[in-house]
Amino acid sequence: MDRQLEVLELLAENARLMIEQLATMLNMSEEEARRLIGQLEESHIIFGYRTLINWDKVGKERVTALIEVKVTPQRDVGFQAVAERIGRFPEVKTLHLMSGAYDLAVFIEGRTMQEVAFFVATKLAPIDGVTSTTTHFVLQTFKEEGILLEDGDGDHRLVMSP
């Protein structure tokens, strides 16, 4: 397997791995591992390192919403120009071009539902090329980035009745 892919897969599972640990796991010197990670960062294959937090447990008030956006593609650039404009808003956390019933999936965060609605009405919907939006509010998150966000205590088996 390609060394870069091995490093990326290990870091995707645990971004806290130290250079020494990566080098040992991949049977390479620490200097090789450091150089490889530096190259991946410089080439923007690795964009950053994140900590996955269950915000519900800390009581931080925040609202996450998925906004389906229909767009009229622009000549010669398709959806790119509109997507770049939407992506510049700090409220936008994730942005995907989609196949199917809508064109862009925009995930945003705000403090309240009203703040999200205000963002959609005043910033997103008026953008040239945006023809419609549909907002879905996240009510509860069960799994994030491949990790189940449960306590691990209690019996989660289904009740069987005779």
User: Which of these CATH numbers, 3.10.310.30, 2.120.10.30, 3.40.50.2300, 3.30.70.920, describes 55-140?
Assistant: 3.30.70.920
The CATH classification number of 3-42 equals 1.10.10
pTM: 0.77
DSSP code string of 101-147 = S-SEEEEEEESSHHHHHHHIIIIITTSTTEEEEEEEE----SEETTE
**Per-residue pLDDT tens digits of the chain, which is 162 residues long:** 588 999 999 988 888 999 999 999 999 999 999 999 999 999 999 988 888 777 778 877 889 999 999 999 888 888 999 999 999 999 999 999 999 999 999 999 999 999 999 999 999 999 999 999 999 999 988 888 888 887 655 455 556 666
Q: Which residues contact 131 (CB under 8 A, 6 or more apart)?
A: 70, 71, 72
- Do 3-42 and 55-140 have matching folds? no
Give the CA distances from residue 69 to residues 30, 65, 83, in Å, rounded to whole numbers and listed in that order: 46, 12, 10
Map out the domains of the chain as residue ranges.
3-42, 55-140
